[in-house]
Structure 1
C-alpha cells in the first residue's frame, strides 16, 4: 500500500484564512480509485502557539515547527499586510526550519503573499516566483534578487509559488497532477467544485478600469465572437466589429481581459469543447469543428496544452451520467 505524501502547512500570525484551508481541502480530495487518501495535511506554528487569522478567529494548531522536519512538502499560506514577512524579515526559527527542509529535499511552496516569507528566508533568490499582483512593487523593492512575474497564476521553479488567493487552488492541483497524473487531479477538482485546470501562465485577474459605456470597450465584440466560435474569426474581424483599428482594439482588449485576442479566443474555444465533451454524444472530430479548431489534431494539441489531458481522457473523467 502506498504511504500518503505528508504535508505541513506552516501558519504565521495574520495568516489568510482561505490560503490556510486550501491545502487540506484540495489535497484531501486527491484519492485513489478505491478512495484511499494520497496525502495527509497537518498545520503547525512556531512553538505550536495559536496564531491570528485575517478572518477574525484564532488558529489552534496540533503541531509546532518540529513537524517541518518529518514531512515531504511544506506550504506557507499568505499573510496579511503589516505582518512579519512584509518588511523583509521573518522569525529566525522559521528561516532555519525552511532552509533545513529545503536542504533535505523537501518540496517548499507558498500561496499568495506567503512568497514574502520564502523570500525573506532566502529561498527565492535567483528564482522565478510570483505573488499577489497588488504587492508586486513592494516585493520587488524588498527582494530585487528574485525574478518576480506577477502576471501568472503559479510558478514551479524548484520552489513553488502562487498568485493571490484562489490561485493557491491552481497550484495545489498542479502538484497533484505532477505527483499522480491528470485523472487524479481532475477528480480532486470535481470534488472541490473548481475548474480542473487553469494554466499557470494565465494572467491574474488584475483590477482594471471599467469602460463608461459598452461602446467604449470590447465587451460587445467578445459576446459577438462567443456566438461564432465555430467560424474562423480573425483579429481584423474583431476590430471591425468594435469599430476600432487593429492596434487600438488589441490595446483595449488586453487592458480589459489581460489576454491577447488570440489567447482569449483559444480559451473560449477550449471551454466550449470541454462543455461539449461533458454533455453531448458528439465525436471528438465534431467537437473540434463546432468549436472552431478546424481539425481533430488541432483540438488535441491545444486541449492538452491548456487542460493537461487529451479530449477523450477528459470525456471519460467528466462525462455526466
Structure 2
C-alpha cells in the first residue's frame, strides 16, 4: 500500500444534497429543528438521571453516558451541513475534514462499545438479580464507561490515519455531506486498495463482535424471562430490554448497509440517505425510544415537572 503524506488540496467541497435555493433553505429548517430537538431531548435525559435519585443505578448511568454521546455524535456533522444549506458555502478545509473524520469514527466506535456494555448490564440485571448490585457496582460501571471512551479514541485514530497518509492532488469534490472515509478514499491520488481491505476487516470486527456479544446476552435474557412464573414479571422484564434492542437494530442495521457490503467503494445514492439516518435521525429517536417506553423515566420526568411548577 503506497502512501504519500503530501497533499495538493487545501480544502474539499462537500456536495451534500443538491437542490434549488428554496430547497436548501427547507433542508436547513428541517435539520435545524432535528438538531435542536436532539440536543434538548438528550440533555433532558442527562438532567433527569442526575437529579432524580430513583434513577441512580447502572442502567441509567449508562443511559446518561449514551445520551451524552448522542449530543456530540450529530454535532460532528450537522452544524457544517446546516452552514452549507444556509450560506451555500460547502467548502471544508483539509484539517477540518480530517478532524471531522476522526471525531465521527471516535464517537461511532464508542457507540458500538457502549451498546454492548448496556446489553451486559441487562444480562446481569435479569439473569443474576441477587448479585446484580455487587457485580455492577459504581466503580465497575465507571471503569466500563471510561473503557468505552478509550476504545473509541483508539479506534478513531486507527480509522482516520489514511487522511494523514494519502495524498489528494486531483478532484476535491466529496460526494457526501460530511468527510466520510470511503468518499474521501475515492479522491486519493495514492493506491488505497490495501487500506480498503484493512477498513473492511476492521469494520467487520468492530460490528460483528459487539453484535455477537449482544445477541448472546439477549439469548440468555430471553431464556431467563421465559422461565419466570409470572406473566407480569415477564412483561416487565421484556419492557426493560425492548428499547435497547430497538436502538441496536436501528444503529447496526444502517451501518452495515453503508459500510459492510462486498464493495464499499461502490457508490449508491441511497448511501447518503442512510448515513443521514444514523447521523441525524437516530440520535433524536434514541432518547424518545428510551423515555416514551420507560415508565421510570416518565415518572422521573413527572416528578421533575412537578418541582419546576412548584
Judge same fold: TM > 0.5, yes or no.
Answer: no
Structure whose residues are more often helix by fraction: 2
